[in-house]
Structure 1
Amino acid sequence: MPVMPGAEPYHHEGGRIGVLLCHGFTGSPQSLRPWAEYLAEAGMTVALPRLPGHGTTWQEMSRTRWEDWYAELDRSLGDLRGRCDEVFVMGLSLGGCLALRLAEVHGAGITGVVVVNPSVANDVPLLKLAPVLKFVISSVPGVAGDIKKEGAAELGYTRTPVRAAASLPRLWALTRSELEKITQPVLVFHSPQDHVVKPTSVRILREKLTRGNLNVVELADSYHVATLDNDADRIFAGSLEFIRTYASVPLQGD
């Protein structure tokens, strides 16, 4: 299946610190490419995979589930851990949920987590009917492109495959049930004006991550896809400072 131009995965061989970046549901690596390149220029070894079913057609995505997306990230994480002294995981939206799940599963194998407008709860009541709806309709209107910055655009699907979406509640529930396992530092960038993910997810993280390891930074001038929005530079610089603070080995060039 041909990949849409701009939706290709990104990899950069850098120093001893690795960063795994996770894009969002129905999106593509394009939404995180500037962030990945920023960290690569700072000396990191960076992996930004394309999740199965993404960056091609929504019909192909309809044949995938959250377990497929997680497996691809888990494989990339294993590769980074084999080449780097330590690894940070970062993600946008559902990619943020997957990053948190990786931290729950791998524990000390991940040094820290940075997420942007993470999704860990069902904000769409219609999704509760998805297990039934998937037999009636194949897709619903898409959620990509929630950006405040004029001229900026996200490369994602205009339709959301119902079968793929029907697998999300299980991932959310599983991730929420084990958030207490996360002992690593977690940095959350949150847009109060988010038309895709409601504040519920950040509220849950505040309630569950009570070890003093959570820091929430508000993005006043961005919508959901903040990595392509007006506050993108704050995210990039903030994540680099986060790495400098918590990494036990020096960055390449420092």
Structure 2
Amino acid sequence: MTSTVMPGAEPFAAPGGRVGVLLSHGFTGSPASMTPWARHLADQGHAVAVPRLPGHGTTWQDMNRTRWHDWYGELDTALTQLRASCDHVVVAGLSMGGCLALRLAQQRPDDVDALVLVNPAVNVKRLDIKLVPLLQWIVPAMPGIGNDIKKPGQDEIGYDKTPLKALASQVTMWKEVRAGLGKVTQPLLFFRSTDDHVVDETSQAIILGGVSSQVTELVEPTDSFHVATLDHDAELIFERTDAFIAQHVGSARG
């Protein structure tokens, strides 16, 4: 039985013009990490959608009953809905949301016009992650990774524990997405915090070295931790995204 959604972790959507933006939160996080960005994009005239990924925003025990195909399926459905009302769709993702965005670009190249990734995860160096396929059958959870935010008073409304069966599934997804990076051809805007305590530098090298995108822009926020969308550099992310969409996709009202 699914638990009640935590206040502030609800999905967000707003109608708009010909350009839609689909935003995905990260692993154990919630739409709260993306909603300010989504509201900004809606103010620019874009149609926006921030789904709540299955198992998120309720309890970590709920999440431990979900797998990566569940999270991807929610985004896939949201993309179909946005495409029904928009001429173009940009997909943006934070952390695991960035990995899911890459998967959408691989699987549905005609429906994804551009990508914006914020501290995306497709790999980690942490040795304990290599033990997760075994650990998931021994213990239900590890300590959480949420709220890596430099700015005081911010809350991504995530879990204080990392559910291991769900984490093992994410690791499986990383492998599949890494294997298909060459299929990604869309213009790519990549934000990488210089001080990130959750995702190490290996994902940046793997993604930027693996995609076939002719356009790749790297921006390095210097005053934010992992959840940069809620941090001191949020406005930088919003403004650079606006310029990127205008240049490579078109204006909202075009």
Q: Percent identity, please.
A: 51
Q: Which residue of 1 aligns with 2:22?
A: 20
Query: Is 1:192–1:199's contact at 8 Å kept on the other side of the alignment?
Result: no
1:214 CA displacement? 1.3
Q: Which residue of 2 aligns with 1:29?
A: 31
1:211 CA displacement? 4.5
Q: How far apart in 1 are the matches of 2:240 and 2:226?
A: 17
Q: How far apart in 1 are the matches of 2:41 and 2:125?
A: 31
Q: How far apart in 2 are the matches of 1:160 and 1:209?
A: 29
Query: Is 2:193–2:226's contact at 8 Å kept on the other side of the alignment?
Result: yes
TM-score (norm 1): 0.96
Question: What aligned pairs does 1:216-235 form with structure 2 within 5 A after superposition?
Answer: 216-235=218-237
Q: Which residue of 2 aligns with 1:251?
A: 252
Question: What aligned pairs does 1:58-97 form with structure 2 within 5 A after superposition?
Answer: 58-97=60-99
- Structure 1 residue runs of 5 or longer lacking an equivalent are none
Q: How far apart in 1 are the matches of 2:171 and 2:43?
A: 37
Q: Which residue of 1 aligns with 2:149?
A: 147
Selected match of 2:114 from 112, 115, 119: 112
| AA aligned opposite 2:58 | T
| AA aligned opposite 2:149 | I
Q: How far apart in 2 are the matches of 1:184 and 1:212?
A: 8
Q: How far apart in 2 are the matches of 1:76 and 1:211?
A: 24
Aligned length: 252
2:188 is equivalent to residue 186 of structure 1:
yes
Deviation >4 Å, runs of 4+: none
Q: Which residue of 2 aligns with 1:9?
A: 11
1:124 CA displacement? 2.8
TM-score (norm 2): 0.96
1:122 CA displacement? 2.9
Q: Which moved more, 1:171-180 or 1:4-13?
A: 171-180
Q: How far apart in 1 are the matches of 2:212 and 2:76?
A: 26
Q: How far apart in 2 are the matches of 1:135 and 1:170?
A: 16
Query: Is 2:16–2:42's contact at 8 Å kept on the other side of the alignment?
Result: yes
| AA aligned opposite 2:134 | V
Q: Which residue of 2 aligns with 1:196?
A: 198
1:109 alignment partner, SS class: coil
Q: Which residue of 1 aligns with 2:242?
A: 240
